[in-house]
Amino acid sequence: MGKVKASKVSSLKPKKKCCRSKTRCLRCPYVVAKMKKYEAAGVSGGELKKCLKKARAA
């Protein structure tokens, strides 16, 4: 999939089922939902990158 910007993750189409691996993939439904939530809250830039890292680690 290559490098994807943190701001673009919320617009990705999520997979049907989460794989729940240790580092979640970018298309995981959980990660996409979390990123949509953060963007709606007004988070942007470097903070959004940190939020993506946190969401994928959960």
Residue 51 φ then ψ, to 5°: -65, -40
Q: Is the dihedral of CA 18, 4, 36, 54 positive or negative?
A: positive
* Tokens, residue 43: 């988070």
pLDDT tens sequence across 4-39: 889 899 999 999 988 888 899 999 999 999 999 999
Q: Both tokens of residue 55? A: 């969401």
pLDDT for the residue numbered 21? 84
